[in-house]
Structure 1
Amino acid sequence: MASAAFEEIVEDFEFLEDWEDRYRHVIDMGKAMDPVDEALKVASTKVDGCASQVWLHPTIEGGVFSFKGDSDAMIVRGLIAVLRKLYDGLTLAEVLAVDARAELGRLGLNDHLSAQRSNGLRAMIERIRTVVSAQA
């Protein structure tokens, strides 16, 4: 169950046959995100388990989930952008119903990220699920 915005990424990845082009696309998505206010880069928003510095600032308004995120690594910032496309605008129940591993697998990310990046991606997904579970 992916959002329409995430389906656009899937379509883009189908068009970009070479993994290097896909990698650049992910990085470009991260570059296009607005930076997170430095005041939000605090211990409570920092994601443990990532090799890079990662901050996620979730918000839930009217039962709808969204988040801002940032990282000091360009590829990780791009992965945050991918996760935003996957989760932003979903209800809490929809967020919990998303099989992130399967959805991200459609992009081939499972096969092309280093072990450290994969662990960091799992940590970000787990943080999102934990925040939503606490509110659901």
Structure 2
Amino acid sequence: MGQPINEIQEELIEEFGLFEDWADKYEYLIDLGKKLAPMSDAFKTEENVIKGCQSRVWLHAEKQGDLVVFQADSEAIIVKGMISMLIRVLSNHTPAEILAADLYFIEQIGMSQHLAQTRSNGLVSMVKQMQHYALAFS
């Protein structure tokens, strides 16, 4: 079994807590996006585009054994950082764990207060799509 979802959230909260101001936090978010594992072009289809995001975001999910594994990419580097965090927290967990997850880290690191409304809506759309996949696999 992998690392519990809340443990991963606590790590992210701690990592973002190392930065005093939001410029540094954005820089870290950009770094997370740059480190996101590359997504196969085969998965960059209209079917995998998340609706409700200002920037194009592709999300692919597959079930490996009992676990849901996500891959994603985006044309926007900030958005890529956001989906990177969600993948880190939710990927490699069971559908039940994903559906039961309370993603409090988003609020705790101040993401919801510092994102433009359109990006914030996009973040909600990403979470909903990941939950939708988990539900489909449950």
User: TM-score w.r.t. structure 2 length?
Assistant: 0.91
Please name the residue that 1:16 is paired with.
Answer: 19
Question: Which residue of 109, 116, 120 maps to 2:122?
Answer: 120
8 Å Cα contact 2:49/2:58 also seen in 1: yes
Question: Which residue of 77, 88, 91 maps to 1:88?
Answer: 91
Please name the residue that 2:79 is paired with.
Answer: 76
Unaligned runs of 5+ in 2: none
8 Å Cα contact 1:29/1:78 also seen in 2: yes
When the two chains are superposed, the root-mean-square deviation of aligned CA atoms in Å is: 1.3
- SS of the equivalent of 1:35 reads coil
TM-aligned CA deviation for residue 3 of structure 1: 4.2
TM-aligned CA deviation for residue 34 of structure 1: 2.2
> What does the per-residue CA deviation read over 1:34-90, in whole Å, with 9 as the maximum and x for residues that have no partner?
221111100111101100010001121122122010000000000011101110122
Question: Which residue of 110, 113, 125 maps to 2:112?
Answer: 110
Hey, what's the Cα distance between the residues in 2 that align with 1:89 and 1:63?
9
Question: Between Structure 1 and Structure 2, how many residues are aligned?
Answer: 135
Unaligned runs of 5+ in 1: none
Question: Which residue of 60, 66, 71 maps to 2:69?
Answer: 66
User: TM-score w.r.t. structure 1 length?
Assistant: 0.93
- SS of the equivalent of 1:68 reads strand
Hey, what's the Cα distance between the residues in 2 that align with 1:94 and 1:106?
20
